[in-house]
Amino acid sequence: MQANDITRERLRRLAGIRTGEAKVLSLFLNLDPREFATASARSTELRSVLDRAARLIREDEALGPTARTSLRADLERIQSELGSGGLDAKGAHGLAVFASDAADLFEVLKLAEPVDHEPVIADAPFIEPLSAIGAPERWCVLLVNRRMARLFCGPGAALEEVELIEDELRRRHDQGGWSQANYQRSIDKDVADHLRHAAQVAFAHLQHDLPVGILIGAPHELAGDFEGHLHPYLRERLAGRLDIDVEHTSADDVRRAAEPSIEQAARAREDKALARMAEAFGAATGRAASGLPAVVAAVHEQRVEILLVEAGFAAPGVLCPTCHWLGTEEATVCPADGSATERLDDLVEAAVERSLTQAADVRVLRDRAELASHGHIAAVLRF
């Protein structure tokens, strides 16, 4: 089962961490099983990342003696926690590690995708690569036939069976006449009761943590009736039907069958966000921002509802050390308080972090040409 420890709440918490004068070491470990299938290969990759981090700590001229000593302690702890058999890579295609001994921070996150990024030393955890991976969305698959129902829930790549419902169904009567007709009606009632029972169990399991989408796998003659029994909260999340064996299929089979529908739904949500952006620009109401300077200004004003960023887009910028105003690299003085600004290697990363702390919907998009004409970054604004 593929692992992904990223949640929107965790990203917001990490984005909100401020360590004062302490520095945070952020490391990213590639565990793609196509390249690092063995423990030996993973250990070699870990040593390579640690060596690059040690060189960065040693050669970064901006670090003072105290910060350098603290970062070396962070590196030793990472080596201790992940080296010598301590690396738990089960289900992970990558790891993100955030460490700051001075700020009492040490966090290891399993990732669903490998991150190709050098170690980073900064005033806060470097989370932009995690934003590109995104938080896993909870999906559910309901498989139903005349006597059995199975409920699978979890992220699309990690659906697991969580409920099995079996109801007794009387066998078809062999005699003709009224007895045959009455018995058939009784069987039909048993089937209807089973569908109703399965729908009730599904709602009881899901009502406090509704999934983003629900897929139904059922014989054609039952699918419509079963969907009709679902609670309205579940019906409004129906995202399609699967042609799949109900009783004998494995969790892996369910994941493979559900994957195209889940990918299509994710693409549709991207389309919806881009459509909202286009609508906001078309309406000329000031409820949209295009290009890095305008988007950063909206972030500073806490106006961003949806932030759309092209994957891999980065640009230098500046930060006011007093009021934390963000600006492009041309701004040497903060317009808010007149303080001299400090250079940021990546203003986009800072904008993503700030937007997350403001509960904005951050979407890092791949292969979407629509963002190119907006300078690779745009936003739909709250006001």
Q: Which contacts of 30-33 are long-range, i.e. CB under 8 A and separated by 24 or more positions?
A: 30/93, 30/94, 30/114, 30/115, 30/116, 31/89, 31/92, 31/93, 31/94, 31/95, 31/114, 32/93, 32/94, 32/114, 33/93
Furthest-apart CA pair in the chain: how many Å? 95
Asked whether 169 and 146 are in contact (CB, 8 A), the reply is: yes
Average pLDDT across the chain, whole number: 89
Q: Please name the residues in contact with 319: beta carbons below 8 A apart, sequence gap of 6 or more.
A: 325, 326, 327, 341, 342, 344, 350
pTM above 0.85, yes or no: no
pLDDT band at 86 (very low <50, low <70, confident <90, very high): low
What digits encode the pLDDT tens for the residues 246-288? 999 999 999 999 999 999 998 998 999 999 999 999 888 889 9
List domains and CATH numbers for the chain: 8-133 (3.30.960.10), 138-267 (3.30.420.60), 286-381 (3.30.1330.30)
d(CA 363, CA 131): 8
Element (H, E) at 138: strand 138-144
d(CA 227, CA 239): 11
Pairing of strands 148-155, 160-166: antiparallel
What digits encode the pLDDT tens for the residues 298-340? 999 999 999 999 988 999 999 998 998 999 999 999 998 999 9
What digits encode the pLDDT tens for the residues 50-79? 999 999 999 999 899 999 999 999 999 999
Task: Find the mean pLDDT for residues 187-206.
Answer: 93
d(CA 6, CA 14): 11
d(CA 248, CA 259): 19
Q: Name the token pair of 62.
A: 């901006």
What digits encode the pLDDT tens for the residues 18-58? 887 889 999 999 988 888 878 888 889 999 999 999 999 99
Question: Phi/psi at 230 (nearest 5 deg)?
Answer: -65, 150
Residue 178 scores a pLDDT above 70: no
Alpha carbon of residue 106 to chain centroid: 21
